[in-house]
Amino acid sequence: MKKKQKLANPNQDIPLGLKLKKDWSKYKTLYFLFIPVLVYYIVFQYGSMFGLIIAFENYKPRLGFFKSPFVGLTHFKNFINDYYFKRTLMNTIRISVTNLIFTFPCPILLAIFISELRSKTYSKAVQTITYIPHFVSVVVVTSILMDLTGRNGAITQFLAKFGFEPVTMLNEPKYFLPLYIISNIWQNIGWNSIVYLAALLAIDAQLYEAARIDGAGKLRQLWSITLPSLLPTIIIMLILQIGKMFNVGYEKIILMYNPMTYEVADVINSYVYREGLLNLNYSYAAAVGMFNSIVSFILVWTTNKISNKLTGSGLW
């Protein structure tokens, strides 16, 4: 009878302390490797959240966090009523949506293209060439862009042969968004395709074999096998991209824009940079940044909920 009872309950509840002790002795090296990552997130990600308290204060460095006067939601109300609110919000939405539409499909198409190449040498060469720009500093990329699109730059002079007026393109509002999008695609298309290449390698080759036997061509295989297999990965990457929409690569924007293009290039995060670091308006900048983060969280949560309902795939 006792033997039967043991067989019926082979996995009895083990105390948490004992589980942790066994796990530690088994994976001690991995835990040690994980410690720097854990410290980084505690100090620089979660620890810094304490500073959000200044969004609700009229923060004065000499008074510190606890003695600065509390003002509640005043800074949030001031931002919503600010002259720059509509401009920065609309620019953020316009740039981020356009960026998502044009840059998100490119790595997927590149990954499919690379997976279809028969020559391994050519495939590796394409991957290397497209990966390299990701490791180039944003500052360097922007400097190159400025040189190429200056009044005497190579791109400007090339377009001049087709009737375009030679101007400093980054001083022209109409050229700002196209240059931002094109440089983004060039810099990130290769690196972002790695995830999709890994997903493509995980697709069972027998599915393609069966499709070929049934007479399916390349387009039919792409539509019926490749894209459905990639769909869970595409959805997760889309949710992550939507979560980053309001951050909109503001470092590059700050490097690219100038007072002549503020009207089309000024986004919420660049406004935070000017208010917080240039005008030393710390509390107001913290409130604007917090507003941005809340909107980003709502976007991720909503997109994930819609994705779970429509496809059954999501981050959680």
Q: Which CATH class is domain 64-311?
A: mainly alpha
Q: Report the distance separating Cα 71 and Cα 287, nearest Å.
A: 11
The stretch 68-74 carries a mean pLDDT of 89
Collapsed DSSP state (helix, strand, coil) of residue 82 = coil
Residue 2 pLDDT greater than 60, yes or no = no
Provide the token pair at 202. 């995980």
The pLDDT value given to residue 305: 84
The pLDDT value given to residue 13: 66
Collapsed DSSP state (helix, strand, coil) of residue 196 = helix
Residue 243 pLDDT greater than 90, yes or no = no
pTM for this model (two decimals): 0.80
Element (H, E) at 275: none
Average per-residue pLDDT in the chain? 86
- On whether the CB atoms of residues 199 and 233 are closer than 8 A, the answer is yes
Around Cβ 128, how many Cβ atoms within 10 Å?
10
Q: Report the distance separating Cα 127 and Cα 149, nearest Å.
A: 27
Collapsed DSSP state (helix, strand, coil) of residue 274 = helix
Q: Where are the domains of the chain?
A: 64-311
- pLDDT tens-digit profile of 78-127? 999 988 899 999 999 999 999 999 999 999 999 999 888 888 888 889 98
Backbone angles phi, psi at 314, to 5 degrees: -175, 180
